[in-house]
Chains A and B, each alone.
Chain A
Amino acid sequence: MDDSTLTITLPDGNLHEMYKPASEKHVWFHKAPIKNLLAYGNRGGGKSHLLRFDAHMRALSVPESRLILIRKTYPQLLQSHLQYIPSEMAMLKGHYHKTEHIAYYPNGSRLFFSHVATEEDSLNLLSAEYIAAYFDELSTISWDFFIKLCASVRIGGKLKDMGIKGVVRAATNPLGPSAAEVFSYFVNKDVEPEDDPDYDPNDWDAIKIQMEDNHQHIDIEDYRKRFSGMPAYLRKAWLDGEFALENQLFDFKPTKNINGNIKPYHVINELPTINGKPIVGVSW
């Protein structure tokens, strides 16, 4: 875990551990070389924190690099990452420009903060070039915007010669308008060639980071109690970290627990038989 820890030197000369990954899963996230990686799970897993510090460490490792951190709306950014960025940048001996929404690092790297609530917002970002794009609460962002913005992650010039690879990193609770696509691309990897001919499952991966993995930072038992009385789909997403669709219409259960046995329910693997013969079949 040590080499994923961010340590800084304080003015008095003492070393200060500014960031330490909360678990082995967090370390794995920082080290994974895959192009597109998602951290998903219930609330309180420290995913946003993980994302921001991954950006800090990448920016400090690659001088003169450009990175971007995106949330759906600006107020969301203001209430989350931008609360911490000014003090973190000061500790890193850089600074944060409040009007430009850019964090400047001492090695010349820049971390842009942006939002993509509308098509216009996404078009504004298309011409830019970044070595890494970070999407916080990805399932709240329109999937079309996300796919378009991924095209802005490209490496050229001397960074390419250095062997730097462009990456997309995302974190999300498994709930929101894009939850189905996020699940399909990152977790299930069942994108059909008809839907996306260029999809390569080897370029996509996900890791589930739960509240329990962040035990250093929160009181889990106390936090769990706060979900009491919430609708089932919210509890499923926020407490269990399972993908859930808001406004889901059908209660579709591929399998069902019947008297302690998991049995096929709505999805069957073989056709029923009558007198030992399947109801329908193929003869060759």
Chain B
Amino acid sequence: MEWFQNESVQIYRGFDLGFFPDPAYCVWVAHIGNRFIAFKEKLWYKSVAPDIAKEMIEESKGMRIAMTYCDPVMDIKTAADVRSIREIFEENGVPMEASINNREHYAHAVHTALQEEAEPGVPRLQILSKVPGFGDMGCPYLIKTIPQMRFDPKHPLRMADSKNDHGVIALAYFLISSGAVERRSTNSTYRLPKWMVPKEDKEKNKFLGYSRL
């Protein structure tokens, strides 16, 4: 099984670390134009970083992942190991960028993406429900837990703590990132500027991740 993606789509991952009883959670988001579509998720219980990294690569086979945004706690070096958890993921083939730990930002980013419309009747953020026949597509956990999130009555802008917030937080890691800020037309594919294309490659028109001139 291998994934294919339209050339004008960028795929990002958001990852929230957990072990047990809280799961580790990863969401795959397709960014197209100014729309975000969460189309796949995976939860891990009692799994260690190298195993999760291996499965993330396997589950993303064929996709061109632009970046994975993660819990900043994963990038803290402790005395227990010379490597941080983020570095362990990186050593196992999953480069990550640490996001920000701020529950006000999470609330604002998700709220904005749900409320703004990319076009009339189409919100900027949509989530794919579980698709029969495609065992690993869809985000049922995220769909179930988004309505369960509450604001903190003492700090109304802040998302309150919840045992089911991993999906929303992983999604928010992406939404507050620079990846979500980018806008691109859905009808154009990304082309390297002329000055970046080596002369000898111009005729070959070889696909190396981008369409070339």
Asked whether, in the complex, the Cβ of B150 is within 8 Å of the Cβ of A246, the reply is yes
Whether A281 contacts B3 by the Cβ 8 Å rule is yes
Is there an interface contact between B2 and A282, defined as CB atoms closer than 8 Å?
yes
Please measure, in the bound complex, the distance between the C-alpha atom of A44 and the C-alpha atom of B128, giving whole angstroms: 38
B107 contact set on A, CB distance < 8 A: 249
B140 to chain A, nearest CB (A): 8
Which of the residues A246, A248, A265, A274 comes within 8 Å of B6, measured between beta carbons? A274
Give the interface of B toward A (CB within 8 A): 1-6, 8-9, 11, 23, 30, 32, 35, 37, 39, 43, 45, 62-63, 107, 110-111, 114-115, 121, 123, 125-129, 131, 134, 137, 141, 143-144, 146-153, 159-160, 186-187
* Per-residue contact bits, chain A 229-253, to B (CB 8 Å; 1 contact, 0 not): 0000000000000000111111110
Inter-chain contact A274/B30, CB cutoff 8 Å: no
Q: Chain B residues near A249 (CB, 8 Å)?
A: 107, 111, 149-151, 159-160
The answer to whether B37 touches A271 (Cβ under 8 A) is yes
- Known A-B contacts A250-B114, A280-B6, A280-B63; the reply to A267 vs B39 at CB < 8 A is no
A280 engages B45 (CB within 8 Å)? no
Q: Which of A184, A247, A268, A283 contacts B2 (CB 8 A)?
A: A283
- CB-defined contacts of A272 to chain B, threshold 8 Å: 32, 35, 37
| Other-chain residue from B115, B121, B148 in contact with A251 (beta carbon distance below 8 A) | B115
Count of chain A residues near B, Cβ 8 A: 35
Tell me if B123 and A250 are in contact (CB < 8 A): no
User: When chains A and B are docked, how far (Å) is the Cα of A173 from the Cα of B204?
Assistant: 68
Whether A162 is near chain B, meaning CB under 8 Å from some CB there, is: no
A-B contact pairs, 7 of them (CB 8 A): A184-B144, A249-B149, A249-B160, A251-B114, A264-B126, A266-B146, A267-B126
Interchain residue pairs A-B with the least CB separation, the first 5:
A247-B150, A249-B149, A249-B151, A279-B6, A279-B9
Q: Which partner residue on chain A sits nearest B106 by CB separation?
A: A249
Q: How far is the CB of B6 from chain A (nearest CB, A)?
A: 5
On whether the beta carbons of B121 and A274 are closer than 8 Å, the reply is no
CA distance A265 to B128 in the complex (A): 10
- Rounded to whole Å, the gap between the CB of A121 and the closest CB of chain B is 22
**When chains A and B are docked, how far (Å) is the Cα of A192 from the Cα of B141?**
9
> Could you tell me which A residues sit within 8 Å of B by CB distance?
180, 184, 190, 192, 194, 245-252, 254, 256, 258, 263-272, 274, 277-284
Main secondary structure of the interface of B (DSSP, over half): mixed
Min CB distance A183 to B, Å, is: 10
In the complex, which residues of chain A have a beta carbon less than 8 angstroms from the beta carbon of B152? 247
| CB pair A250 B3 closer than 8 Å | no
Which residue of the partner chain B has the closest CB to A246?
B150
Contacts of A190 in B (CB 8 A): 144
Q: Which residue of A lies closest to B135 (CB)?
A: A282
Name the residue among B37, B141, B150 with the largest chain A CB count within 10 angstroms. B150
Residues of B with C-beta under 8 A to A267: 126-129, 143
* Residues A268 and B9 in contact, CB atoms below 8 Å apart: no
Nearest CB to that of B149 among chain A residues? Answer: A249
Per the bound structure, the CA–CA distance linking A249 and B111 in Å amounts to: 8
Point out the residue from A184, A268, A280 that lies within 8 Å of B4, measured CB to CB: A280
By the criterion CB–CB under 8 Å, are A250 and B37 in contact?
no
Contact B32 A268 (CB under 8 A): no
* Pairwise interchain contact A280-B2, C-beta atoms closer than 8 A: no
Q: A194-B23, A272-B32 are in contact. Are A266 and B125 (CB under 8 A)?
A: yes
B9 touches A245 (CB 8 A): no
17 additional A-B pairs beyond A194-B45, A250-B111, beta carbons within 8 Å, are A245-B150, A250-B146, A252-B147, A266-B123, A266-B126, A267-B127, A268-B126, A268-B127, A269-B129, A270-B128, A271-B37, A271-B39, A274-B6, A277-B6, A280-B3, A281-B5, A284-B1
